């Protein structure tokens, strides 16, 4: 804004005696006219209608007690992403967890978005397990997938690969992290402590190649007949820009 524009608001003596105040006022007016940078818009995918395992229920199908997912419920930032943790998870089955389903279909989205953030892990495959043991899962094993269903009937598959996207939710301190996801949460439970292990969940971010098309729903599918790994999902968040 030019000085000439300011003269209409000031008396002559004000203009000569208070130039610094005038400059400050100009800059205040300028910055007030510039909109503040907007945060990335995020939306939580509602999973509660698909939950098939409560946080209050112990994990695994054996008789050992104290094996709970001890993450706090509610909205929180994990791995730099806002997630909303409910009172349960979607648990898929495996060659070990035979009572759980191979897939859970129709997770409602009904939105366009730029990125999908997933908070997940798997049961079995790590912790104290070693190559050759019954519950061991080799890196690069595909243990499941997310199928993204668009409004135009097209489908995009996001594979879940052990060692890249997830590892066992139990871990020892010397175990590696996934190579294309990040560790978003760490915690403890009584059973894991007995085996000198801890707990962790992983955040995977997927860039949507069709962000101009509405996603109707997501199907969550395991490789139940092929591997002992039993994937589970705790939360999903959409990033709209």
Do residues 56 and 154 both lie within one domain? yes
- Tell me, yes or no, whether 37 lies in a domain: no
- What local confidence, expressed as pLDDT, does residue 39 receive? 57
Question: Where in the sequence is the domain holding 93, given as residue range(s)?
Answer: 42-239
- Segment 70-78 shows an average pLDDT of 98
Do residues 127 and 204 both lie within one domain? yes
- What local confidence, expressed as pLDDT, does residue 205 receive? 98
127 pLDDT band, cuts 50/70/90, is low
- Tell me, yes or no, whether 123 lies in a domain: yes
Residues 99 and 157: their CA atoms lie apart, in Å, by: 25
Residue 31 in this model has a pLDDT that exceeds 60: no
Closest CA relative to residue 87, chosen from 49, 42, 119: 49
Do residues 11 and 89 both lie within one domain? no
Distance linking the first and last C-alpha atoms of the chain = 33
pLDDT in tens, 163-189: 999 999 999 988 899 999 999 999 999
Do residues 153 and 222 both lie within one domain? yes
| Total of domains in the chain | 2
Residues 119 and 70: their CA atoms lie apart, in Å, by: 14
Instruction: Report whether 125 contacts 136 (CB < 8 A).
Output: yes
Do residues 16 and 91 both lie within one domain? no
Residue 6 in this model has a pLDDT that exceeds 60: no
128 pLDDT band, cuts 50/70/90, is low
- Rounded-to-5 percentages of helix, strand, coil across the chain: 15, 40, 45
Do residues 20 and 100 both lie within one domain? no
Compute the half-sphere exposure of residue 107: CA atoms within 13 Å on the CB side of its CA.
26
What does the angle CA 141 – CA 80 – CA 43 come to, to the nearest 5 degrees? Answer: 90
- Tell me, yes or no, whether 16 lies in a domain: yes
Beta bridge partners of 74: 85
Do residues 96 and 205 both lie within one domain? yes
Do residues 94 and 7 both lie within one domain? no
- What local confidence, expressed as pLDDT, does residue 130 receive? 78
pLDDT in tens, 106-126: 999 999 999 999 999 999 987
> In 3-state terms, what secondary structure has residue 171?
strand
Beta bridge partners of 135: none
Do residues 199 and 146 both lie within one domain? yes
- Tell me, yes or no, whether 98 lies in a domain: yes
51 pLDDT band, cuts 50/70/90, is very high
- What local confidence, expressed as pLDDT, does residue 183 receive? 98
Residues 184 and 119: their CA atoms lie apart, in Å, by: 8
Do residues 18 and 117 both lie within one domain? no
Unique residue bearing structure tokens 């995020």: 42
CATH number of residue 91's parent domain: 2.60.120
């Amino acid at each position: 804004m030019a000085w000439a524009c300011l003269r209409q608001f000031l008396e002559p003596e004000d203009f000569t005696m208070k130039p610094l105040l005038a400059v400050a006022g100009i800059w205040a007016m300028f910055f007030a006219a510039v909109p503040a940078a907007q945060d990335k818009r995020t939306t939580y995918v509602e999973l509660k209608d698909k939950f098939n395992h409560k946080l209050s229920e112990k994990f695994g199908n054996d008789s050992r007690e104290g094996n709970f997912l001890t993450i706090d419920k509610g909205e929180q930032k994990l791995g730099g992403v806002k997630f909303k943790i409910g009172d349960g998870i979607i648990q898929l089955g495996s060659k070990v967890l035979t009572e759980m389903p191979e897939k859970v279909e129709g997770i409602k989205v009904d939105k366009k978005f730029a990125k999908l953030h997933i908070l997940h892990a798997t049961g079995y495959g790590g912790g104290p397990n070693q190559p050759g043991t019954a519950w061991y899962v080799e890196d690069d094993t595909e243990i499941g997938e997310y199928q993204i269903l668009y409004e135009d009937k097209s489908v995009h598959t996001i594979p879940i690969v052990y060692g890249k996207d997830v590892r066992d939710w139990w871990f020892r301190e010397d175990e590696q992290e996934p190579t294309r996801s990040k560790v978003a949460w760490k915690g403890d439970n009584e059973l894991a402590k007995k085996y000198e292990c801890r707990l962790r969940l992983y955040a995977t971010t997927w860039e949507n190649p069709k962000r101009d098309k509405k996603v109707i729903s997501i199907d969550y599918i395991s490789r139940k007949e092929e591997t002992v790994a039993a994937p589970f999902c705790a939360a999903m968040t959409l990033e709209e820009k």
